[in-house]
Amino acid sequence: MQKNDGEIKNIMQSAMSQYELLAPAGDFSMLSAAVNAGADAVYFGLKEFSMRQNAGNFTIKDLDEIEKVCKPKKIRRYLTLNTIIYNSELEEIEETIKKVRNKVDAIICWDLGVVQLCRKYKIPFFISTQASVANVEAAKFYKKLGAKRIILARELNLKQIKEISKVIDVETFCHGAMCVAISGRCFTSQFLFNKSANRGECLHPCRRTYTVKDDEGNELKVENSRILSAKDLCTLPFIEKMKKAGIKAFKIEGRNRDARYVDTVVRIYRKALDKKLSEKEIEEGTKELEKIYNKGYSSGFYIKMPTADDFARTEHNASNEKKHFIGKVTHYFPHVNVAAVKLVSELKVGDEIVIIGKTTGIVYSKIDSLEINREPIKKAKKGNEVGVQTPKLVRKNDNVYLIKKN
């Protein structure tokens, strides 16, 4: 029987929603970027009890505004409460959970005290990767407690993931930074700087360059001195194998990144989850991912055990493009799609810029022309207020960045 257009559309939407793409939101600009780029859900933390204390994070008062951004596009909202919780914090965490009820779709946690409070206030909860769930019996245990989903330990391969996915809905990371401790509980930052990774305060000393010496001063010669720094995860080249492993939700790591990172990664993985990519499309997507923050890319544990090749070759960002702050939008003229930008650095015709803002999210633009007082110019200097045409609406106080190739 022939299907009408409405039935075909519903079937296509059903197929496209088979996998959930979950994006990080460290602040409102990242949230807007995730929503506009095609994420199905976002995860975020509050100022307290978040594993990313260095991210912008949100307050409970922000949850209503987050709902206004997400609800029109039916984007699900997941709150992370996944740090270690001490006795002295139980009252505060209970008050937090009471206040967020009906304002989020689920809570990501692993402390059993938080689990009990989610049960008490009838809030759906997912088990965080911090719990290191790596077998079917552990999955059954958390399912019996009432967990709706488990974010699995990062040490698992695809065969192991598929077995656990038969017990409960599973979520895994598809892209982003990896800790050398993999699923967490690293103590290096705590020992060196009294900043606990398990309280969201990690200073990432593992990313540094190290020498290895014994008590007599003999130094071990190593090919790569980033001996504790893992490359970032990238599953795009084998995303079809990921789909066949029973994974319900594909999670992008990166609450400490920025809106440009979120926009790029979400767009690429959205396309990869909605259809089977050709080899050319995978190659093009990988090149795009190399433009944003990364420390080189690895397949993690999914395909094989990591080797020496899976350690980073650089201490910081290995991307082949970087953004540099050059000014702020002071006014926007909607009838001509022009933004007035107060510069703190020079800008010239031919440059590529990106504009990032709380409500705007992210807007890219190639500079085809510049104007000062309605007079065309080729180059603007620091201190100039210059007119720049933009393809979309931007707003006063949005930040403007110049994209530079390395």
Domains of the chain plus CATH, in order, are 9-310 (3.20.20.70), 321-405 (2.40.30.10)
Q: What is the pLDDT of residues 371-389, one digit of tens each?
A: 999 899 999 999 999 999 9
Residue type, 100: V
In three state form, how does the secondary structure of the chain look? CCCCHHHHHHHHHHHHCCCEEEEECCCHHHHHHHHHHCCCEEEEEECCCCCCCCCCCECHHHHHHHHHHHHHHCCEEEEECCCCCCHHHHHHHHHHHHHHCCCCCEEEECCHHHHHHHHHCCCCEEECHHHCCCCHHHHHHHHHHCCCEEECCCCCCHHHHHHHHCCCCEEEEEEECCCCCCCCCCCHHHHHHCCCHHHCCCCCHHHCCCCEECCCCCEECCCCCCCCCECEEECHHHHHHHHCCCCCEEEECCCCCCHHHHHHHHHHHHHHHHCCCCHHHHHHHHHHHCCCCCCCEECCCCCCCCCHHHECCCCCCCCCEEEEEEEEEEEEECCCCEEEEEECCCEECCCEEEEEECCCEEEEEECCCEEECCEEECEECCCCEEEEECCCCCCCCCEEEEEEEC
> How long, in residues, is the chain?
406
Q: Is the pLDDT of residue 363 over 50?
A: yes
Q: Is the pLDDT of residue 225 over 50?
A: yes
Confidence of residue 47 (pLDDT cuts 50, 70, 90): confident
What pLDDT was estimated at residue 2? 42
What pLDDT was estimated at residue 215? 84
Confidence of residue 233 (pLDDT cuts 50, 70, 90): very high
pTM for the full model?
Answer: 0.86
What pLDDT was estimated at residue 9? 43
- Window from 15-19, 326-330, 359-363, 390-394 with minimum mean pLDDT: 15-19
What pLDDT was estimated at residue 193? 73
3-class secondary structure, 275: coil
- Window from 254-263, 311-320, 347-356 with minimum mean pLDDT: 311-320
Rounded distance, CA 344 to CA 384, Å? Answer: 8
What pLDDT was estimated at residue 226? 65
Q: What is the pLDDT of residues 61-113, one digit of tens each?
A: 999 999 999 999 999 999 999 888 999 999 999 999 999 999 999 999 999 99
Token code pair at residue 61: 């008062």
- Furthest CA-CA distance within the chain: 82
Taking residues 292-299, report their average pLDDT: 90
Residue type, 398: D
| Angle at CA of residue 112, ends 132 and 172, nearest 5° | 30
Confidence of residue 183 (pLDDT cuts 50, 70, 90): low
Taking residues 298-326, report their average pLDDT: 84
Alpha helices in 146-220 (DSSP H): 158-165, 188-193
* DSSP string across 26-82: SSHHHHHHHHHHT-SEEEEEBSSS-S-TTS--B-GGGHHHHHHHHGGGT-EEEEE--
Q: What is the pLDDT of residues 390-406, one digit of tens each?
A: 999 999 999 999 999 87
Confidence of residue 145 (pLDDT cuts 50, 70, 90): very high
Q: Is the dihedral of CA 106, 272, 6, 37 positive or negative?
A: positive
3-class secondary structure, 109: strand
Mean of the per-residue pLDDT values of the chain: 88
Top pLDDT among 223 and 169 is at 169
Terminal-to-terminal C-alpha distance of the chain: 56
What pLDDT was estimated at residue 381? 95
61 Cβ contact partners less than 8 Å away, ≥ 6 residues apart:
none
What pLDDT was estimated at residue 54? 56
What pLDDT was estimated at residue 11? 37
Residue 291: count other Cβ atoms within 10 Å of its Cβ. Answer: 17
Confidence of residue 1 (pLDDT cuts 50, 70, 90): very low
Helices 63-70 and 28-37: crossing angle in degrees, nearest 10, is: 20
The radius of gyration of the chain from alpha carbons, rounded to an integer in Å, stands at 23
Contact 129, 152 (CB under 8 A): yes
What pLDDT was estimated at residue 6? 44
What pLDDT was estimated at residue 15? 44
Contact 256, 31 (CB under 8 A): no
Give residue 128's Cα distance to chain centre: 15
Confidence of residue 307 (pLDDT cuts 50, 70, 90): confident
Q: What is the pLDDT of residues 185-199, one digit of tens each?
A: 676 766 677 777 666
Taking residues 226-251, report their average pLDDT: 91
Above pLDDT 70, what percent of the chain? 87
Q: Is the pLDDT of residue 365 over 70?
A: yes
What pLDDT was estimated at residue 368? 95
Taking residues 133-162, report their average pLDDT: 97
Rounded distance, CA 99 to CA 84, Å? Answer: 20
